[in-house]
């Protein structure tokens, strides 16, 4: 039943996207030529509607190519919207290029821009609303995906705990198969030797293999049974806790190689785009904040003896040390490399406390970005003293050093600033590294600005 429901939902999904795209065109035409001033109709609406048929088909094809019509039980809304906007931007860029080359018909660029904005907003709202509706019905027990679990160890327990706590995902466990019976609050259907017969009997929508290492020799017979009965198989490997959320595979003459730590920024084009945004953004922000920085420099000089700029060694990309710049907010002291700063710290000057409250002490880090030591967005860097401590105590701590450290980051915009959990910060940093995109960076920057938490002054400020 779930297969038929999914096919119906997918068809409705495509159909409603097409209706929204096509209907947004006359709405954009009306806004441009009847609502906004200065409009001269050189191309009639009928011509726009004719090209709208082609545009709608092209957009739907691109959306399908970007995977927007696959089941989104496991996909986050943010990731789906990111794909939607990227696909739309690609189609719009192609359309404008074609219109630039073809001068025979003078379509209004503003009309097409309004159409693109209207359709994107409508499609995004539709996806948000659709997820809310599906979540409601799945919590009520409808549109459930019947899964059969293989294994009875820790992996199986973790999987079952997740799908039971997140009922809106719509997974319904019908039983488990294992060599021994365990207390999983789920019916044991039989042993691995009976798998093929049980698949024919229960006809699950999906089999989830969560077997432990000692049962891994059974994997060939599990795969064979699923292939023979035409059952979809998903595998949770016993080393799952060491894997990234989006593992990458290489092909070595037909041998698949799993790369545990390949990240989006390993791609040179992605790295170039991020660096270009960093340089452009840093130069712009230096120009905009230069009057403020001059005032801060004067205030630091007048507030206490010592240098205006505080230089502190931090660990950056590839575990290379660099000096991070800040306006000095404390009196010169001996504990700047081993002592955490606090909200009430006798070392702070009055002007320094004001700067830190407004995060103005961090403005010189724009020059770190220009130098290439830092990025506008990334994990916050630490001093060598704490890196040596955390790498022993916090799992995966050193993974954050695969990218440039940032002035702001995913952890910071989620409230993990100052005296907060290092483990939680690292989890957010790794999520950012593994899911990086230009849109994700923009989201973090905008969130930082609007929440008023542009920079993080949590550690060892001088």
**How far is it, in rounded angstroms, from Cα 408 to Cα 406?**
5
Q: Residue 377 region, left (φ>0) first, then alpha (ψ -120 to 50), else beta? A: beta
Residue 197 has pLDDT above 60, yes or no: yes
Confidence of residue 451 (pLDDT cuts 50, 70, 90): low
User: Does 336 score more than 60 pLDDT?
Assistant: no
Task: For 135-177, write each residue's pLDDT tens digit.
Answer: 777 767 676 788 999 998 888 999 999 888 877 677 889 999 9
Please, which pLDDT band fits residue 453 given cuts at 50, 70 and 90?
very low
pLDDT tens profile 392-450:
888 788 888 989 999 999 998 888 876 678 888 988 998 899 889 888 898 888 888 87
Helix H or strand E segment including 341: none
Q: What is the pLDDT of residue 352?
A: 83
Report residue 334's pLDDT band, with 50, 70 and 90 as the boundaries: low
pLDDT value of residue 71: 64
Kindly report the average pLDDT of the chain as a whole number.
Answer: 83
The mean pLDDT value for 320-346 works out to 70
Q: What is the pLDDT of residue 462?
A: 44
Q: How confident is the model at residue 359 (pLDDT cuts 50, 70, 90)?
A: confident
Confidence of residue 199 (pLDDT cuts 50, 70, 90): very high
Residue among 203, 205, 175, 172 at smallest CA distance from 191: 175
Q: At what angle do helices 2-30 and 109-139 cross, to 10 degrees?
A: 150
Question: Which residue from 437, 139, 99 is spatially nearest to 263, judged by alpha carbons?
Answer: 437
Say if residue 101's pLDDT is above 90: no
β-pairing, 321-327 with 309-315?
antiparallel
Q: Is the pLDDT of residue 48 over 60?
A: yes
Are residues 403 and 379 in contact, defined by beta-carbon separation less than 8 angstroms? yes
Residue 461 has pLDDT above 50, yes or no: no
DSSP codes of every residue in 34-58: IISTT---SS-HHHHHHHHHHHHHH
The reported pLDDT for the residue numbered 103 is 61
Work out the percent of the chain whose per-residue pLDDT is above 70.
88
Tell me the pTM: 0.62
Q: Does pLDDT of 110 surpass 90?
A: no
Distance CA 296, CA 416 (A): 26
- Residue 291 confidence (pLDDT): 92
Q: What does the buried/exposed string (b/e) look like for 225-247 if buried means 16 or more CB atoms within 10 Å of the residue's CB? A: bbeebebebeebbbeeeeebeee
**Distance between CA atoms of residues 169 and 172, nearest Å:** 9
Q: Please give the pLDDT value at position 275.
A: 94
Q: How far apart are the first and last CA of the chain?
A: 64
In angstroms, rounded to a whole number, what is the distance separating the alpha carbons of residues 375 and 275?
Answer: 8
C-alpha triplet 293, 299, 302: angle, nearest 5°: 145
Predicted local confidence at residue 4, as pLDDT: 47
Closest CA to 379 of 405, 418, 398, 407: 405
pLDDT for residue 40 is more than 80:
no
d(CA 124, CA 82): 10
| Dist CA 429 CA 424 (whole Å) | 9
Residue where the block lists tokens 């009847």: 34
In the predicted model, what is the mean pLDDT of residues 229-245? 83
- pLDDT for residue 316: 93
Report the pLDDT averaged over residues 234-258.
78
Residue 98 has pLDDT above 80, yes or no: no
Q: pLDDT at residue 100 above 90?
A: no
Short-list 31, 35, 12, CA closest to 23: 31
Instruction: Tell me: pLDDT of 52 over 60.
Output: yes
For residues 35-42, give the mean pLDDT: 79
């Amino acid at each position: 039943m779930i297969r038929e429901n999914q096919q119906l939902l997918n068809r409705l999904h495509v159909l409603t996207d097409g209706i929204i795209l096509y209907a947004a065109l006359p709405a954009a035409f009306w806004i441009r030529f009847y609502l906004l001033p200065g409009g001269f109709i050189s191309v009639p609406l009928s011509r726009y509607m004719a090209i709208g048929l082609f545009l709608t088909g092209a957009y739907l094809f691109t959306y399908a190519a970007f995977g927007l019509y696959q089941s989104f039980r496991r996909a986050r809304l943010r990731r789906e919207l990111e794909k939607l906007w990227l696909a739309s931007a690609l189609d719009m860029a192609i359309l404008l290029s074609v219109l630039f080359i073809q001068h025979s018909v003078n379509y209004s660029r503003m009309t097409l821009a309004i159409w693109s904005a209207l359709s994107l907003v409508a499609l995004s709202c539709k996806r948000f609303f659709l997820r809310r509706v599906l979540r409601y019905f799945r919590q009520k027990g409808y549109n459930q995906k019947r899964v059969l679990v293989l294994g009875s160890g820790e992996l199986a327990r973790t999987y079952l705990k997740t799908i039971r706590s997140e009922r809106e995902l719509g997974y319904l466990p019908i039983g488990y198969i294992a060599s021994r019976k365990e207390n999983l609050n789920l019916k044991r259907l039989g042993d691995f030797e009976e798998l093929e017969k049980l698949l024919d009997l229960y006809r699950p929508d999906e089999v989830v293999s969560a077997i432990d290492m000692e049962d891994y020799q059974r994997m060939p017979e599990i795969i064979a049974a699923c292939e023979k009965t035409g059952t979809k198989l998903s595998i949770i490997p016993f080393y799952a806790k060491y894997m990234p959320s989006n593992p990458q595979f290489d092909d070595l003459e037909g041998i698949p190689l799993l790369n545990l730590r390949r990240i989006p920024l390993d791609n040179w084009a992605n790295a170039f785009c991020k660096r270009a945004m960093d340089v452009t953004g840093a130069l712009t922000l230096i120009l905009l904040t230069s009057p403020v920085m001059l005032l801060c420099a004067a205030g630091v000089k007048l507030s206490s003896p010592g240098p205006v700029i505080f230089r502190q060694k931090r660990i950056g990309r590839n575990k290379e040390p660099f000096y991070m710049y800040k306006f000095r907010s404390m009196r010169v002291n001996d504990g700047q490399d081993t002592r955490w700063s606090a909200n009430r710290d006798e070392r702070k000057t009055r002007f320094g406390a004001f700067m830190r409250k407004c995060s103005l002490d961090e403005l010189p880090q724009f020059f770190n970005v220009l130098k290439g030591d830092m990025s506008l967005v990334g994990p916050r860097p630490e001093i060598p003293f704490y890196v040596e401590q955390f790498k022993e105590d916090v799992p995966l701590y050193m993974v954050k050093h695969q990218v440039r450290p940032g002035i702001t980051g995913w952890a910071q915009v989620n409230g993990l600033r100052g005296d907060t959990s290092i483990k939680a910060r690292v989890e957010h940093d790794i999520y950012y590294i593994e899911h990086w995109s230009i849109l994700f960076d923009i989201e973090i920057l905008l969130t930082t600005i609007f929440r008023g938490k542009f920079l993080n002054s949590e550690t060892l400020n001088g």
